[in-house]
Amino acid sequence: MRIQYAILYTSDIARVRSFYSALLKAQPVEDLDHFIGFALEGPMLGIKLSSELREQPGCQTVIISCGNADEMRDECVAIGARIVHDITVEEWGKNFSILDPDGNKVEFVEG
């Protein structure tokens, strides 16, 4: 068994398509008017246009492993991402967090 997708919800699919394409340096492998999916090393990251009451944009978190947290932070700043938790070193590794355009939390962990 393995996780296939982590899904975030959005109120504006075009805005997050642009944001995540720049953030992940990739184009979606699934690109529909209500859903986009990015292929990562492991589970895919899906972003779905909110269509149900339970699908609240801004209430989800995804954690992404990165090679170098300092470089990734600089790249996030360069695309205009809002840093909500600057770089710290914890027992699980060096990490920081940003918010996507909908307010979903994206945490990066070096490793």
56-93 pLDDT per residue, tens: 999 999 999 999 999 999 999 999 999 999 999 999 89
48, pLDDT greater than 90: yes
Assign a CATH topology to domain 5-110.
Answer: 2,3-Dihydroxybiphenyl 1,2-Dioxygenase; domain 1 (3.10.180)
For residues 9-42, one letter each, b for 16 or more C-beta atoms within 10 angstroms of the residue's C-beta and e for the rest, the string is bbeebeebbebbbebeeeebeeeeeeebbbeeee
- DSSP codes joined into one string, 19-62: HHHHHHTS--SEE-SSEEEE--SSSEEEEEE--STT--TT--EE
pTM of the model: 0.91
Helix (H) or strand (E) holding 76: helix 69-78
pLDDT at position 53, please?
A: 93
Mean pLDDT of the chain: 95
What is the average per-residue pLDDT within 13-17? 96
